[in-house]
Structure 1
Amino acid sequence: MKGTVNILGVPFSKLTLNETVEELTDHIQQEQPKLYHLITANPEITITHQTDKLLQTIVKEADLITPDGIGIVMAAKRKGDPVPERVTGYDLLLRLLERGNKENWSFYFLGTDEETSLKAVQEISSRYPNVVVAGRHHGFFSEGQESGILQGIGHLKPDVLIIAMGAPYTDKWIYKNKANLTNVRVAFGVGGSLDVIAGKVTATPAIWKKLNLEWLHRLLTVPVAKGQKSRWRRQSALPKFFYRAIIRK
């Protein structure tokens, strides 16, 4: 491990995307299963962490927190302790699917709506034929259905549990159910990644990524799920982050 850099109380990993994949691969290939909880954190989550006591506890107990946002990269550089690059949930998912296709890993996909979940899994099975899709379930389940979903995941014992239910809800869900996820090796949230894979949402063009404007592309093009804050309201955390982590000494 290369250590971490502390940004507003959140210890961000200084591993590259490749090194993060190797870290997770080593854990998956261990004989004794143990849940590895990875969090991909952006400036919005970092600001939420300032006042959310439960999220603070979750962050302390997480196994790895990756810098999912150019703001985190800029803040680390401003601090004089840079991270090498962003490690996003989407990029990490694709890389793990690639590795899983070589290693015959099993995945369980939890989240998004039923139609998108089905399309995403079909696309993943087509692109990565050696990946074992252990199971899937949409993210709009009731409290009464939750125990059955957890029992199913425990029975299927997936190497990787991918959750697309939004942050920080995803990480709170993982934390709450750790005792029921002991047969899972790695779990992390991927935001709207399944929507992109399913074709529901257009992937960010390369030029937007090159200009570090991926957040703006999402802001302008990605619809907001029912019950969630508007994306414009959520982005109001960005000025707070830039002031506290980059401008203010």
Structure 2
Amino acid sequence: MRIAVFGDVMGRSGRNALLEALPGLRRNHALDFIVVNVENAAGGFGVTSKIASDFLEAGADVMTTGNHAFDQRDEIEIYDQEARLLRPINFPADNPGRGSGVFTARNGDKVLVLHAQGQIGMHPCDDPFAAIDREMENAPLGDAVDAVIVDFHAEATSEKNAMGHFLDGRASLVVGTHTHIPTADDRILSRGTGYITDLGMTGDYDSVIGMEKSEPLRRFTTKMTGGRFAPAAGEATICGVFVETDKKSGLAASIHPIRIGGRLSTANPL
């Protein structure tokens, strides 16, 4: 199976870049399954029903989020209405929506997508390791499903590393999101799981993790708030990973970073 996962879409710049590129990427490179993290897609804070629909129409199969999942408070009902939009599985059980699902890829294979939030440096949530472990027992790789993709939305690289090793041999791919800086450690772990600590954001890198520079710099240098954060509006870099899985085992046969456009060095295995 040919899988692509794209990191946190940041504001209009990141949104427009990926929406424009996604249909061609899917068509030209025979992608069977695409996951997009959209938690910053609406002005940097959350996602709207219109944006979610746009990504589904452009070719996304599943959308994940994170700690900003419910920032668009007038639209949180979309998590109950759209099964392909996930919030972290270890949020309170009575929150709208769900954190996992089994979906059908373009080639007919079954894909379990799991989405969890870390605990270190994040708002309080339940144990992500236990939550993911419970869910995987119901849909084991190579038995109930042909691939397992985990988006672990976490601040600490150590917690992301630990999750990768915790799921090694049981998931096709474990990706970290949230910190908006692509890491250079894409690899296949010892038991066959594809892994990267952070996909990076899809947004303008002439910024402070996607936000226009002046307000973050003011807060860091003066400890005072001068206004609201606003997403940077320059040319975006599309960031993510491409993974090809072994048909028999469902584990990763190869993994490569994706960086297209904008200010970062190009990495385009597709």
> Would you tell me which structure has more helix in proportion to its own residues?
1
Q: Answer yes or no: same fold by TM over 0.5.
A: no
| Greater per-residue strand proportion | 2
TM-score scaled to structure 2, two decimals?
0.30
Per the normalisation by structure 1, the TM-score is 0.32
